[in-house]
Amino acid sequence: MTDKLIIFDTTLRDGEQSPGASMTKDEKLRIARQLERLRVDVIEAGFAASSNGDFEAVQSIANAIKDSTICSLSRANDRDISRAAEALRGANSSRIHTFIATSPLHMEKKLRMTPDQVLEQAKQAVRFARNLVSDVEFSPEDGYRSDMDFLCRVLEAVINEGATTLNIPDTVGYAVPELYGNFIKTLRERVPNSDKAIWSVHCHNDLGMAVANSLAGVKIGGARQVECTINGLGERAGNCSLEEVVMAVKTRRDYFNLALNIDTQHIVAASRMVSQTTGFVVQPNKAVVGANAFAHASGIHQDGVLKARDTYEIMRAEDVGWSANKIVLGKLSGRNAFKQRLQELGVSLESEQEVNVAFARFKELADRKSEIFDEDILALVSDESVTADKEQYGLVSLSQHSETGERPRASIVFTVDGKEVRGESDGNGPVDASLKAIESLVKSGAEMVLYSVNAISGSTESQGEVTVRLQNSGRVVNGVGSDPDIVVASAKAYLSALNKLQSKADRVAAQG
Ligand code: KIV
Ligand code: ZN
C-alpha cells in the first residue's frame, strides 16, 4: 500500500520570521486561502502567543479555513499553549505545535536549563496541550545537534504524554542528506514507542540542502510529514521549499512511492502571492516557480521539446500552474468573463464589492495596455487597495517632469482619510521626487530598506510591480504597487507601506 506524505506548510510562521517578510492579518488570510486551494494538509498559521496581531491572524485563519488542519506554534509553557488553543477554537481541525530546545548548546547557553529540566518541561507541555486538543506536535529545537541518547529519552516521554507528531528540526541547516536521513531512521529504531506517532522533518537551508535533507528524512528515515514553505521563505537562507519537495515526490513517484494531497496547479499562484506580499523576489532560475524554470533558450533544446516534449522536460509547466503567457482578456471583456478568469486562476475575492473594484481596475488597465496577461490580473488583485476596507492613504493622481540635465520634480495628489492633499518635491530621479512629495506631507520618518521593480510579464510594455519595504521604530512592512508607469507603481507601493505601518504590533521571537 502507498503511504501518504503529509505536507505541513509553515510560510505564515517560520516563513514570516524572515526579516522583512512580516505580513498583515489580511495578507495571511489570503495566503492561507491559497494554501487551502493547494490542499496543504496542515497550515501553521502563526505563533499565537507572540503578539496580539499573530493571535488574531491565527484566529481568523482558524475560523475561515475548513479543509486544512490549522496549527499554532507555542513554546513549552502553559500560557503559550493556552493562547494557541484559544486562537484555534474555531477550527474544524486544529493542532498545537509545542517546542523546546534539546541540544547541549541551546540548553546550556540559551535556556540555562539542565537536560532533566528540559525533559520535564517537554513532558508537561505535551500533557497540558493534549488536554486542550487531540492533535499535538512536539519539536526538539536544534534536534539534529542534540545528543542521541537524550533525544530518544525526550521523544519517548512526549509520545507517552500523547504527542501525535514528532518533528525533528535541523534548526541551523547543518545536516547533510545521508546523515540526516540516518538520524531520523536511528531515532525511529531506538525510541521504543516510535510507531505511536508520525515522524516529521523540518530543515533549514543554510547550506542549500533543506530539500535534499527533507527528502532523505523521508526516504531513508521513514518520515511521513515534511515541513516547508512557499518559495523556501524563512529565516536566514530559508526553509525547505514546498514546491520543490512536492514536485520531487510527484515526479519521482517511482522512487518515493508516496501519495500527496496537493493540487499542484495552484503552486505558481501561491508562489506569486507570497513573493508579492513579502517583496521576496523569486530568482529566475529557481526550480519549479522561477520565470525560467520551463524556458528553453538553446536552439537544440527548443528543437527537442518541439519534437517530443519529454526530451528536455520532466514536468509539465501547466501542472504547476504556469499559463502559456497567453492574452486572456481585453478591453471589451465583460465582468463575467473577468470573474470567470479569476476563478480559473484560483483567486476568490470575498465580496461582489471587491470584484467590482478589481473589475474597474482591470478596465482602467485595459484602456492603457492592449494585452492583458494572467500575471497582470494576479498583480491587479494582489494590490491591497482592492481588498482593504479602509485605507488611510490612497493615490489620486501623479505628475512628474524629468529631462536630461535637470533635476526631476513631482506633484502628487493623494487622500488622507478621504481628504485630498497635494505634495510637491524634487528628487534624484522621478521616483525619488514622487516619494519625497508624499513624505513632505506624511512625515512618517520611516527608513526605506528595500525598493525593487519587477516587470510583470517581461517586456517594456508590461506593468511594473514595485515593492517598498519601510522600517520605523523596529517595525518592518512591505508595500506593493503595480502600474504600467513605474513611477505611479512606486507611489502606490509607498502609500500601501505607509498604510501598513499604522497597524502593526511588536512580537516575541519564535526561537526564544
Ligand atoms: O527551526 C526550528 O527549530 C523551528 C522550531 C520552532 C520547530 O522552527
Ligand atoms: Zn524552523
Best of 13, 141, 144, 151 to mutate for ligand 1, by most ligand atoms within 8 A of CB? 141
Hey, which of 133-142, 323-332, 381-390 has the most confident mean pLDDT?
Answer: 133-142
Please state which architecture CATH assigns to domain 389-502. Answer: 2-Layer Sandwich (3.30)
Q: How far is the CA of 247 from the CAs of 180, 256, 287, 440, 458, in angstroms?
A: 21, 11, 10, 49, 25
Q: Smallest Cα–Cα separation from 438: which of 403, 394, 481, 381?
A: 394
Please state, in angstroms and rounded to a whole number, the distance separating the CA atoms of residues 127 and 109. 26
CA 14 to ligand 1: nearest atom: 8
CA 99 to ligand 1: nearest atom: 6
Residue nearest to atom 8 of ligand 1 (CA): 14
Q: What is the mean pLDDT of residues 397-421?
A: 95
Please state, in angstroms and rounded to a whole number, the distance separating the CA atoms of residues 20 and 235. 10
Beta pairing, strands 165-170 & 198-203: parallel
Are the C-beta atoms of residues 153 and 111 closer than 8 Å to each other?
no
Q: Is 348 exposed, middle or buried (0-12, 13-18, 19+ CB in 10 A)?
A: middle
What proportion of the chain, given as a percentage, has pLDDT over 90?
69
Q: Is 164 exposed, middle or buried (0-12, 13-18, 19+ CB in 10 A)?
A: middle
Are the C-beta atoms of residues 226 and 6 closer than 8 Å to each other?
yes
The ligand placed nearest to the CA atom of residue 232 is 2
The CB density around residue 284, as the number of other CB atoms within 10 Å, is 10
Give the up-direction half-sphere exposure of residue 81: CA atoms within 13 A in the CB hemisphere: 24
Q: Smallest Cα–Cα separation from 456: which of 396, 402, 354, 382?
A: 382
Q: How far is the CA of 235 from the CAs of 22, 50, 409, in angstroms?
A: 11, 16, 39
CA 142 to ligand 1: nearest atom: 3
In angstroms and rounded to an integer, the radius of gyration of the C-alpha atoms of the chain is: 24
- pTM attached to this predicted model: 0.86
Please state which architecture CATH assigns to domain 3-278. Answer: Alpha-Beta Barrel (3.20)
> Cα(249) to centroid of ligand 2, in Å?
21
Cell for 508?
Answer: 516575541
Q: What does the mean pLDDT of the chain come to?
A: 91
DSSP 229: B
> Cα(250) to centroid of ligand 2, in Å?
24
pLDDT beyond 90 at 182: yes
Q: CB of 100 closer than 6 A to ligand 1?
A: no
Q: Smallest Cα–Cα separation from 275: which of 285, 289, 255, 294?
A: 289
The model's pLDDT over 57-80, given as tens digits with 9 standing for 90+, comes to: 999 999 999 999 999 999 999 999
The CB density around residue 440, as the number of other CB atoms within 10 Å, is 12
Beta pairing, strands 372-373 & 393-401: unpaired
Please state, in angstroms and rounded to a whole number, the distance separating the CA atoms of residues 190 and 184. 10
477 vs 158, residue with greater confidence: 158
Are the C-beta atoms of residues 88 and 62 closer than 8 Å to each other?
yes
> What was the pLDDT predicted at 340?
82
The ligand placed nearest to the CA atom of residue 512 is 1
Residue nearest to atom 7 of ligand 1 (CA): 139
CA 169 to ligand 1: nearest atom: 3
> What was the pLDDT predicted at 454?
82
> What was the pLDDT predicted at 488?
95
Please state, in angstroms and rounded to a whole number, the distance separating the CA atoms of residues 478 and 449. 10
Can you list the positions of beta strands (E) in 222-339? 225-228, 258-259, 327-329
pLDDT beyond 80 at 512: no
Domain 3-278 and domain 389-502 have a common topology: no
> What was the pLDDT predicted at 75?
98
| Share of the chain residues as helix, strand and coil, in percent rounded to the nearest 5 | 45, 20, 35
Q: What is the mean pLDDT of residues 361-379?
A: 80
* Domains in the chain: boundaries: 3-278, 294-320, 325-385, 389-502
For cell 493562547, name the residue.
83
Residue nearest to atom 5 of ligand 1 (CA): 141
